[in-house]
Chain A
C-alpha cells in the first residue's frame, strides 16, 4: 500500500495543476488515470487543436499545455499510475484506502477527483451479439497481433487506428476494412496507402457499410454488413476489430455515495469538497452555481482544493498563505536554488 497525502483521480490539466498546488504547500500526492498518458481530454480529444483561452498563453495545443504542466510539476517527482481506474474508496479511521482495478492500493488523507467527464473507454458496436464475442474474437484494441496471422480480420472504422491496423495486418492476414462512408478521418497518407492496398487486392475495402450481425458458435466465423442502400453482404471472419474512438464513462464514481446531478459531482465553492468529508472534486466533473467548463476554472478549483486537503493531511499545522515569488519554502520545494 502506497502512503501519501492525496490521491488525484485524473491526469488532465486540472489534476496536474492541483498536484502542483499540493506540492507548493508541502503535500505529497500520486495520480491515477485510465489513459496510457497524462493530459486527459487535451491529449486524447484534441492534442493538435489550438487552445486560445489559457491566461497569459495566447495560443497552445492540448499537447503543449500538457507538456508544460508536466514540466511545471517535475520538481515534485509525482508518481503516475496509468492504464487503471480507481474502483473502490474505503474510509479507514481518519484516512482513506483507495484501490484501482490494477490492484494498486493507496492510504491517503484525502482524495481529489479530477475525472473530467469520466474515464475513457472504447466505444463499442451497437449490435447486441457482439458482447458475446468480446475478448475472444472481437476486440477494441490489439494486445497480441500474432493471433491474427493467416486469419481473416474484419476491421471497422475510418480513423487512424483502423487504417494503421488494416495496413499492418494486411502483411500477414486477410483484411476486410469496413467503414460507414467513403471519407476517412485518418491521415491522408494512410488513406492513400489503404486505397493502394485495396487496388492490389491486399485489403478488401467496403465503404458505406456498417455492422449488421455477427455469427459463430464460440468464436466468430462470419459477419453480415449492410450497405447504406440496404444490401446485406455476408463475409467470413475469424476476428473483428472495432475502432470507434473513446467515450467517457463515469464508472465507479457513481457508487461512492457522492451527490451527483447530471453526471456531475456537487461541490461547495469554498474548497471544492463534496458531500463527503475528505473527497474533493475539481474540473469538468464538478458542479456548482456558475460553473464554467474551462481549463482556467479547473486551475482555480485545484488551487483551492489543494488547500482544502491540507487540514486532513496535517491537522495539527496551520497553512500560511505565501507567494511563490517571495516564499523561500515554496522555492525550496520547487528546487530553486537561491544564493
Chain B
C-alpha cells in the first residue's frame, strides 16, 4: 500500500499506509490524524482539508480543477503548494507523498 506522510503542525510525523483509491483526506480521517477537518466530507466545498504539499511532489500530483483553486481562496493561509487533500486520490504513483497540515483549518 502506498505510504503517505502527514506532518502535523505540532511537528509530529505520521507515516500511514493508505489504500489505493482513498483520498489523502480520507487516509487522515480514518487514522485520526489531527488538523484535517473535512467538514463537507470530500465535496470540494469547504476548504477544511487543506494541506501544503512538499515541493518535490508538486508537479507529480494531478492538476487542480478550477473548483479546487476557488476553494483554496477560502483556506487558512493558502500558499503556492496548497492543495485540498480530498482531491488527491492515493495510487502507487503517490507512494511516499509528504503533506504538511496547517496550524488550523479556519
CB pair A159–B40 under 8 Å, yes or no, is no
Q: Chain B: interface secondary structure? A: loop
CA distance A244 to B78 in the complex (A): 11
Question: Which of chain B's residues have a CB closer than 8 A to the CB of A45?
Answer: 40, 43, 45-46
CB pair B45–A263 under 8 Å, yes or no, is no
What is the number of residues of chain A that contact chain B, defined by CB distance less than 8 Å? 25
CA distance A247 to B70 in the complex (A): 15
- Give, as a whole number of angstroms, the nearest-CB distance from A150 to chain B: 29
What mask results when residues 25 to 67 of chain B are scored 1 for a CB within 8 Å of chain A, else 0? Answer: 0000000000001011101011110000000000000000010
- Give, as a whole number of angstroms, the nearest-CB distance from A51 to chain B: 10
- Give, as a whole number of angstroms, the nearest-CB distance from A172 to chain B: 26
Question: Which of chain A's residues have a CB closer than 8 A to the CB of B106?
Answer: 123, 247, 249
Question: Which of chain B's residues have a CB closer than 8 A to the CB of A249?
Answer: 106
CB pair A244–B80 under 8 Å, yes or no, is no
CA distance A181 to B64 in the complex (A): 14
Indicate if A37 sits at the interface (CB-CB under 8 A): no
CB pair B45–A180 under 8 Å, yes or no, is no
Indicate if A288 sits at the interface (CB-CB under 8 A): no
CB pair B45–A247 under 8 Å, yes or no, is no
> Which of the residues B39, B66, B78 comes within 8 Å of A248, measured between beta carbons?
B39
Question: Which of chain B's residues have a CB closer than 8 A to the CB of A126?
Answer: 76-77
Indicate if A52 sits at the interface (CB-CB under 8 A): no
CB pair B74–A245 under 8 Å, yes or no, is yes
Indicate if A185 sits at the interface (CB-CB under 8 A): yes
Question: Which of chain A's residues have a CB closer than 8 A to the CB of B74?
Answer: 123, 159, 244-245, 247
- Give, as a whole number of angstroms, the nearest-CB distance from B87 to chain A: 16
CB pair B69–A117 under 8 Å, yes or no, is no
CA distance A247 to B80 in the complex (A): 22
Task: Name, among B37, B39, B76, the residue most crowded by chain A CB atoms within 10 Å (CB to CB).
Answer: B39
Question: Which of chain A's residues have a CB closer than 8 A to the CB of B39?
Answer: 117-118, 247-248
Other 16 A-B pairs with CB < 8 A, given A158-B70, A180-B78, A263-B37: A45-B45, A45-B46, A46-B43, A117-B39, A181-B73, A183-B69, A185-B70, A228-B80, A244-B73, A244-B74, A245-B74, A247-B48, A247-B74, A248-B46, A249-B106, A284-B41
The 3 nearest A-B residue pairs measured at CB: A185-B70, A247-B106, A245-B74
A sample of 9 cross-chain residue pairs with beta-carbon separation below 8 angstroms, ordered by A number, consists of A45-B40, A45-B45, A117-B46, A159-B70, A183-B66, A228-B80, A245-B73, A248-B39, A249-B106
